Chain A
Amino acid sequence: MRICLVLFCLLPWLAWAQTPTPEPGSEKEQAVRKIIGSQEDDEAVPSAKDMSKPAVFGIMIASQQRERLGTQIIVIKRASLMPWIFSLLLLPVYLHIARRRGFRIKAKTP
């Protein structure tokens, strides 16, 4: 019963949240040509909201594929510094807490 109620509330919201898919056809081809041309001229900024340019999803896929090729070594090198520095900063904190626990145990022991 509860599941039905949840579905009843959730499904219309999901239906509303979906954006309509553009119809394939000659308009799409024109939009693709247009966006490819403007991309070459570096004029248009791609926007997912602009439904007259379905090729924008092609750009999105291409940018994701560029990401999938891997991260540059220099970026990884830079990103590695942060966790190592924080670990080294936390080491004295840990040692201090560990020492205090040692004293606590000693004080408890009769």
Chain B
Amino acid sequence: MRAIWEIGRLQLLENLRRQVHLVTIFMAFLMLALPAYVNTFSMGLQAFEVAAKDFGLTLLSYYGVAMALMLGSSVVPRDIERKTIYPLLARPVARVSYLAGQFLGTSILLVGSMFLLATALALGIAGLSSFDATIYAAALGYSLECTVLVAACLCFSTLASPPLAGVMGFFLYVVGGLSTAFTQFFLREDRDNDTLANLVDGSKNFLPNFQVFRLKYPVVHNIPIDPAYHGYEFIYAMGWVALFLMLAGIRFEKRDL
């Protein structure tokens, strides 16, 4: 456990050295100014809060996914390329611990970034109306979505090159988050493509369902969320993280490094 924590800390420092946090700070300023910008164009309508929350949370989601794909798919190959992995593997550390440490470091950075952006958005809205703490509920969902994506990309990067791992991660995100309405109305009804619709429905059973983590709609429209929901979505996300790390561990153990 100590090894995982130490590797995670090193990975976090490495990401900070790569100045990944500067993108987050830039985005935070954007989030802070977003409600005022939306308010300017709301022409006196009171719906600016809904529009600002919707727009802000969408930005938060896209930012998280982009960062998760970029960081998750490049962590292990980068260490191999720079040969910084060898001193670590020479120590009595299980390879799955190494992967878990890399995952932990990347996830801490991502979750921290998401909550920083959520705070910026909440403060931006608080400046014009009132502080809305439910934004953190959506941020938690998106953070869990990102951790699952990081674990998946980490797993894919042990099999393929970083760009291919990123593409595979993106495919997972798209198919895993596809709504049933889309497959029903566009693929099955409109395009008459039952084969593709069945393929999508079938593959969704074996992929993580990212819709579990998307709480933007209830947050934007002030629909109450059961507090137990967050516990269950956490268990669900950690299940997928454990599975992806286990698969990555099996593959990584077989690699001749």
Chain B residue with minimal CB distance to A76? Answer: B232
CA distance A49 to B239 in the complex (A): 40
B181, A60: Cβ atoms closer than 8 Å = yes
CA distance A32 to B95 in the complex (A): 61
- Interface residues of B toward A: which range? 35 or more
A69 to chain B: which residues have CB within 8 Å? Answer: 217-218, 223
B240 in contact (CB, < 8 A): yes
CA distance A66 to B131 in the complex (A): 27
B218, A76: Cβ atoms closer than 8 Å = no
B249 in contact (CB, < 8 A): yes
CA distance A84 to B243 in the complex (A): 7
Q: Given the known A-B contacts A90-B246, A94-B249, are A67 and B211 also in contact in the complex, defined by CB atoms under 8 Å? A: yes
Choose among B189, B212, B236 the residue with the greatest number of A CB atoms under 10 Å from its CB.
B236
Chain B residues 165-218 with CB under 8 Å of chain A are 179-182, 184-186, 189-190, 192, 208-209, 211-212, 214-218
B181, A90: Cβ atoms closer than 8 Å = no
B239, A83: Cβ atoms closer than 8 Å = yes
A33 in contact (CB, < 8 A): no
CA distance A87 to B243 in the complex (A): 5
A97, B254: Cβ atoms closer than 8 Å = yes
Chain A residues 65-101 with CB under 8 Å of chain B are 65, 67-71, 73, 76-77, 79-84, 86-87, 90-91, 93-94, 97-98, 101
CA distance A95 to B3 in the complex (A): 18
A52 in contact (CB, < 8 A): no
B232 to chain A: which residues have CB within 8 Å? Answer: 73, 76-77, 80
Chain A residues 21-53 with CB under 8 Å of chain B are 46-49
B239, A76: Cβ atoms closer than 8 Å = no
Shortest B92–chain A CB gap in Å is 10
B190, A90: Cβ atoms closer than 8 Å = no
Interchain CB contact (< 8 A) of B181 among A49, A67, A97: A67
A71, B242: Cβ atoms closer than 8 Å = no
B217, A48: Cβ atoms closer than 8 Å = no
B218, A97: Cβ atoms closer than 8 Å = no
A19 in contact (CB, < 8 A): yes
B250 in contact (CB, < 8 A): yes
Q: Given the known A-B contacts A76-B212, A83-B239, A87-B242, are A68 and B190 also in contact in the complex, defined by CB atoms under 8 Å? A: no
Interchain CB contact (< 8 A) of A97 among B184, B190, B253: B253
CA distance A7 to B236 in the complex (A): 43
Between-chain CB contacts (< 8 Å), 7 pairs: A19-B190, A48-B189, A60-B184, A67-B211, A90-B247, A90-B250, A98-B249
Q: Which 5 A-B pairs have the closest CB atoms?
A: A83-B239, A68-B217, A48-B189, A48-B190, A87-B242
List 19 other contacts, CB 8 Å, given A76-B235, A84-B243, A86-B246. A19-B190, A48-B186, A49-B189, A63-B184, A64-B179, A67-B180, A69-B218, A70-B225, A71-B209, A71-B211, A73-B226, A73-B228, A76-B232, A76-B233, A79-B212, A83-B239, A87-B243, A94-B250, A97-B254
